[in-house]
Amino acid sequence: MVPGFNLTGPATQKGTATGNIYPGYTRVNHGKYAVSDVRAHIGTSNLIWDYFYSTAGVSFGTYNSAIVSQLQEIFDADWNSPYAVAVEPLEDGHAYSS
């Protein structure tokens, strides 16, 4: 877990408090995108059937190599983050499932 992901706290801009407060659970990476070697998809819906069937959302797909490359870099940074949890521990007993 990322320390402080569920806490409230002051918002800052360039090191100065803005007067706003971050609500709890807003410091979690909740990006909704998929990226391959040649294509990227960015959307507002979770990638499950209910969201596509019963809610409205926005979706953008592209073969633009600059966007694909940027999303690949973001994915790699998240995948290799010290806060990432390996998939293997989830297989036996679902240690991190809710």
State pTM to two decimals: 0.59
d(CA 46, CA 42): 10
Question: For the residues of 14-36, what is the DSSP string, one character each?
Answer: TTEEEEEEEPTT-SS----EEE-
The reported pLDDT for the residue numbered 1 is 56
d(CA 50, CA 59): 15
Kindly indicate the confidence band of residue 32, based on its pLDDT and cuts at 50, 70 and 90: confident
What the block records as the tokens of 63 is: 């073969």
Domains of the chain, by residue range, sit at 1-28, 31-82
Mean pLDDT of the chain: 79
